[in-house]
Structure 1
Amino acid sequence: MNLLLTSGGVKNKAIHGALLELLDKPIAESAALCIPTAGYAHRGGMGRAWNFIAGRETECPMTELGWKSVGVLELTALPTLDHDQWTAEVREADVILVNGGDPLYLHYWIRESGLADLLPTLTDTLWVGLSAGSMVMTPRIGDDFAGWRPPTGGDDSTLGIVDFSIFPHLDHPDLPENHMGAAEKWAAGLPNPSYAIDDNTALKVSSAGVEVVSEGHWKHFDQPEAS
């Protein structure tokens, strides 16, 4: 599975170009599924979910890019559905678009729904994450981003598909707490490498490795040395 891990969606030409490279086919010929689930854990989440599905998040382009088709993969519904039915539809998709919101809530439902078990088999599918939809692929999100907690307890661990963590929305004007100093402190508390990225930056992950795609600013933090 290739990954395009964004902070603010497909915001610019550089990220759009990376999307086309990973798809290896035109967007107009690509079938998409979108996952709105992460947004529900935040205040106003139902409206945010609708805006994401309907392509009305103009600041975070994802579903409105001109896909051949877009379906909704609502993770909270999957445990009540026939397993073979929904997994067949996931396998047929070219790309999975994953909304922002709460990364731990998203992680919980990726596991509860059974999607986590399916992900390793989706070798020809592209995962495009938006904020929490990107963070969930990392091993840890850090305590700064741990809001919702699962009923079973747990820490800030997520899927660990990649070996680095992501601090999104770096220096966003509406998030004054997301400044570089905060990112540096956050990174120092993690046992693995990490990136701080702004909304004009994405991380392109493929068999060739990790490539930073940016028309903005970002910083890579090496793994802290063991004391």
Structure 2
Amino acid sequence: MKPSLRGLSQIGMARRAVELSSYDAQQVEYMREQCINVDENDRIIGGVSKREAHSSYQLVLHRAFSVFSFTSDNKLLMQKRSAEKITFPNLWTNTCCSHPLHTQQEMDGVPGAKRAAIRKLEHELGITGVSLNKFQMAGKYIYRAEMNNAPWGEHELDYALILRGIGAENCNINENEVAEVREVVLDELKLWMRKEPNSFTPWLKLFSQTETFEKWWTINKNTEESIEDTNIYKLH
């Protein structure tokens, strides 16, 4: 006898529950957060749970942000994602990567993404005292990536945010989020990525292949001029 559609649905729900049951309880709780579902023109469609947005069965396009914080001596502050992370654990990436939430404060385009970045810089890295005007908006980037060994992935419209003057000495890491931090110069990162390509998140590897990536290392280093790029680019 074939299982009913209802039965198949229950089997699928149970399978996904098992998938989450093996993960860290705090990280599972974060999967209930509501991300911002958008179209490829960054128009808001509605809310979508972090779990739904990152399930490889769906991979719903949603807003994200990626902070690239450079020290006064032009080193990128990087973090290694903790082993507890559900998506892309134990991989090195840029300073802070997460999502604006489907809330009034964080749905407001660039200002909302910057507010979310301030929230997560403190939550993940213990970095405080960052104001909205400290960020430089360096474009919006659409990309898609799936994990090879788990039913999760990313499909994001990612706001790139440049920050300067903050390094490892400003960090007090949340070990449930971040395993360690490191500062690197551009040439060091290039060599590291060539030697250990599987040690990095897919979005950082995609960012590193763009024409503008190297320019970010010197943006606003000796000037107060704003770049404020809000164009949308596709990463492949």
**Shorter-chain TM-score tier:** under 0.3
Please give the TM-score of this superposition, normalised by the length of structure 2: 0.26
Please give the TM-score of this superposition, normalised by the length of structure 1: 0.26
Q: Identify, as 1 or 2, the structure richer in strand.
A: 2
